[in-house]
């Protein structure tokens, strides 16, 4: 039964549909809706795990299932589950939109699942657009309409611009090769790799993904959108959405990887620009979400290093880094969401005294920030080490050196966060943070994951290697 292969997608689609019906059927009921969404997304993780071994082609070859896509589907459904965990009280979104909020969240996840499996250029385009449009709406859902609207408009304008560039690129690519399937493209491309139409088409096609990945020069939306969107949506964009885009960029590059020095140079330039710009701009940010936005740009730069190193090792390191990012970024956002004052964004200085208010959250923040900064023994260090090893193996010493300098620069603002949380004094002592018991367990589990994977990353490395190998 071939449709069984399509299990996770079908399931998420049905759940999204269910929320749509529900939103017409009855008014929102915060608590009940949250429990429902939690249970349904949890079941989604189980179903994705059950379909981990699925392999095959669907829809006339436009849709491919292999270990690569299935692992990322698990990661995506897991990311969705984590985000839903944070939605216990989404105060920033008006009550009447709550059910639509879940609807769009599930639709977006569905689109990303389609994206990691898509093999046809048009399927890729459609999936990417579906996920983007859900996000445009999610961003504007913020109660403070001006903030959300401004963020949404900026996101939307940059997004359609990137899409148009991408479509132009795809058209050029089709014109040069006559191929629309990735596997065909991989065969035809080597012959035409010297022609401008093919190369520029390829470059412009990547533009659309660079937009999603927040790579320079398509990073302009990131800071404003992160700042203006509701916290949970920002967390979703920063975690699940990034993982999906990293996956699809790896897939595309792996398909067209002809050891083209031109492509490597371009990617290297973009990677360096993203890292440097992200880290330097993050230094002066006071709004936590803005700061994390710039840090995201920097991390996209690090991921690009892994991708451009190529080969199984390079792709595996990028996969590892994507999975690590999911955990560590989410942990930071968990703290941000819990601490955010009603209707406003969390300022860095407002972290002051966190250590006294909630030692667990302070510890979670410290471990995740150290992980983002790449300090051992955390998962983030292993990720960076893996990526840099791959690049060094290819002889990209200068690139690694620049990345390392960036790592030191980034320490500056990461330490400011830790300093605020542990050593800062607030004028009035805010009340202790009350975390429900399940959230405490979740936080503890996230901390443990980051530390254990830092000390014993072998299983995760094996997984990443297997995933990367299934691409080749």
- 194 closest CA partner among 96, 276, 263: 263
Choices 42-50, 63-71, 125-133, 387-395; region in contact with another protein by CB under 8 A? 387-395
Write out the two tokens for 453: 């994977």
Crossing angle of the two packed helices 145-177 and 196-213, in degrees rounded to 10: 160
- Out of 158, 234, 340, 449, the only residue in the binding site for another protein (CB under 8 A) is 158
Distance CA 434, CA 228 (A): 26
Query: Is 192 a binder of another protein (CB under 8 A)?
Result: no
Give the residue carrying structure tokens 């019906």: 21
Sign of CA dihedral 408, 218, 242, 181: negative
Q: Report how many helices (DSSP H) and strands (DSSP E) the chain contains, helices first.
A: 20, 2
Identify each DSSP E strand in 218-323 by its residue range.
none
- Applying CB under 8 A, the site for another protein has a residue count of 67
* Residue 390 binds to another protein (criterion: CB under 8 A): yes
Shortest distance (Å) from residue 363 CB to another protein: 9
State both tokens at 146.
């001006």
Report CA dihedral (190, 191, 192, 194) to the nearest 10 degrees.
80
| Shortest distance (Å) from residue 91 CB to another protein | 23
Binding mask 250-279 for another protein (x = CB under 8 A): -----------xx--xx--xx------x--
What is the closest distance, in whole angstroms, from the C-beta atom of residue 388 to another protein in the complex? 6
Report the C-alpha gap between 128 and 274 in whole angstroms: 22
Out of 50, 122, 398, 404, point to the residue binding another protein (CB under 8 A): 404
Where in 194-233 is the site for another protein (CB under 8 A)? 194, 196, 199-200, 203-204, 207, 216-218, 220, 223-224
Alpha-carbon distance of 197 to 252, in angstroms, equals 17
Is residue 471 within 8 A of residue 117, CB to CB? The reply is no
> In whole angstroms, how close is the CB of 370 to another protein at the nearest point?
8
According to DSSP H, which parts of 86-97 are helical? none
Does position 171 interact with another protein (CB under 8 A)? The reply is no
Q: Which one of 28-36, 51-59, 228-236, 415-423 is the stretch in contact with another protein (CB under 8 A)? A: 415-423
Binding site for another protein (CB under 8 A): 146, 149-150, 153-154, 157-158, 161-162, 165, 194, 196, 199-200, 203-204, 207, 216-218, 220, 223-224, 261-262, 265-266, 269-270, 277, 280-281, 283-285, 313, 370, 375-377, 381, 385-386, 388-390, 392-393, 397, 400-401, 404-405, 407-409, 411-412, 415, 419, 422-423, 456-458, 461-462
């Amino acid at each position: 039964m071939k449709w069984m292969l399509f299990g996770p997608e079908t399931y998420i689609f049905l759940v999204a549909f269910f929320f749509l019906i529900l939103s017409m059927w009855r008014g929102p009921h915060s608590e009940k809706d949250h429990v429902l969404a939690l249970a349904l997304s949890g079941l989604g993780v189980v179903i994705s795990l059950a379909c981990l071994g699925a392999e095959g082609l669907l829809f006339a070859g436009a849709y491919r299932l292999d270990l690569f896509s299935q692992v990322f589907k698990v990661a995506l459904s897991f990311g969705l589950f984590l985000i839903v965990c944070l939605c216990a009280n989404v105060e920033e979104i008006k009550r009447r939109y709550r059910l639509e909020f879940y609807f769009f969240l599930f639709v977006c996840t569905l689109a990303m699942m389609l994206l990691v499996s898509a093999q046809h250029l048009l399927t890729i385009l459609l999936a990417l657009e579906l996920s983007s449009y859900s996000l445009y709406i999610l961003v504007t859902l913020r109660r403070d309409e001006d903030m959300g609207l401004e963020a949404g408009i900026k996101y939307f304008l940059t997004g359609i611009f990137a899409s148009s560039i991408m479509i132009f690129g795809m058209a050029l690519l089709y014109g040069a090769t006559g191929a629309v399937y990735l596997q065909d493209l991989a065969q035809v491309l080597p012959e035409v790799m010297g022609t401008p139409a093919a190369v520029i088409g390829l470059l412009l096609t990547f533009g659309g993904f660079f937009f999603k990945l927040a790579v320079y020069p398509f990073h302009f939306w990131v800071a404003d959108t992160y700042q203006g969107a509701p916290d949970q949506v920002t967390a979703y964009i920063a975690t699940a959405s990034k993982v999906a885009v990293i996956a699809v960029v790896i897939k595309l590059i792996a398909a067209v990887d002809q050891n083209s020095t031109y492509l490597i140079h371009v990617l290297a330039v973009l990677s360096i620009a993203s890292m440097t710009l992200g880290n330097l701009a993050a230094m002066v940010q006071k709004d936590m979400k803005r700061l994390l936005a710039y840090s995201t740009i920097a991390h996209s730069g690090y991921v690009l290093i892994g991708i451009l190193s190529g080969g199984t090792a390079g792709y595996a390191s990028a996969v590892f880094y994507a999975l690590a990012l999911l955990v560590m970024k989410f942990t930071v956002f968990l703290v941000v969401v819990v601490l955010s004052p009603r209707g406003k964004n969390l300022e860095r200085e407002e972290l002051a005294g966190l250590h006294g208010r909630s030692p667990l959250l302070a510890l979670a923040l410290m471990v995740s920030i150290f992980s983002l900064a790449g300090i051992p023994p955390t998962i983030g260090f292993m990720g960076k080490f893996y990526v840099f090893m791959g690049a060094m193996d290819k002889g990209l010493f200068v690139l690694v050196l620049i990345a390392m300098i960036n790592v030191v620069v980034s320490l500056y603002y990461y330490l400011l966060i830790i300093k605020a949380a542990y050593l800062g004094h607030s004028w009035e002592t805010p009340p202790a943070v009350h975390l429900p018991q399940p959230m405490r367990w979740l936080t503890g589990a996230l901390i443990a994951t980051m530390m254990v994977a830092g000390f014993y990353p072998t299983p995760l490395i094996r997984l990443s290697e297997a995933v990367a190998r299934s691409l080749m």
